[in-house]
Amino acid sequence: MAPPMLHPSNLRLNAALLSPEESMNLADRQASQDELSFLQAIHDLYAVTPTPPLSNRLFSSEVIFTLPSGSVAVGTTEIQSTFNNTFSAHPSRQVLRQRLLHTPDTLAGKENARTKFVVVDQELAFFDEAAIQESMRSVDEEMEMEVQPKRVVRSLIVARIEDGLVASISEEEDHKKSTAPLAARRAAASNSFYSPSDNVLSPTSSKLKLVKQKHQLKVKPVSLFGKPQLPSGLQKRLAESTQAFSPAQQQPRSGLSQQMAAGDMSL
């Protein structure tokens, strides 16, 4: 079995431009006041039902949120609606831990006076609703009952901040970049396939299409219900042949011809 660092899933860099093992091992750091407000907003986004609106003091009006599924929500209103729909089936959830990580050198090199990054390691627990109800009854009966989470998701959250406002956020479960490209996941969700080169023609096909279009422009439209029109030259010859063989133009027969036609000629 290959070592974890050599596993193919670890060779794909995540949003922190690190392998999953590297980003999980980043050290913690103290948060500034603005970062504490951001961490609280992220906590409420995942843990509070219904999802509270995102503050315009922290988030840009056109903030982009990329979820682990590959779906993208743009704008504070759409993000709020997306989280409400995503977590509506899981009302019992809790953020177990949030760690503000040191910004790795892979991202620190991209920071400047206007741009900075915030890297967070978060654990979100999902609980069974029936177990929660049973726990509440045990409390009423003065009994202690510990509820274990049904599932715990550890995610890497990377936020890009521009001019003091969060411009984009990405979440990656287990600190791993998704194996399927976003375009492929969207195509699979819509049960269709789209390629950017679908409408691209080869040089030969392009020339044939152009010649065909020019030919179609030269042809006059034909009525489906009108009489067919023959070329003028053919119409003239047809009229002359019809006139030559008409009964009115035949020569009168002689007396012998008349007798032969009548059958009166005797041998």
pTM of the model: 0.61
State the pLDDT at residue 2: 45
Smallest Cα–Cα separation from 106: which of 185, 178, 189, 23? Answer: 23
pLDDT along the chain (267 residues), means of 10: 48 89 95 93 91 91 89 92 87 91 94 95 88 62 66 95 95 82 53 55 73 69 60 70 60 55 51
State the pLDDT at residue 74: 93
Burial class (CB in 10 A: 0-12, 13-18, 19+), 222: exposed
State the pLDDT at residue 237: 74
Which domains does the chain show, CATH number per domain? Answer: 4-189 (3.10.450.50)
CA 250/CA 208 separation, integer angstroms = 56
Smallest Cα–Cα separation from 70: which of 170, 192, 174? Answer: 170
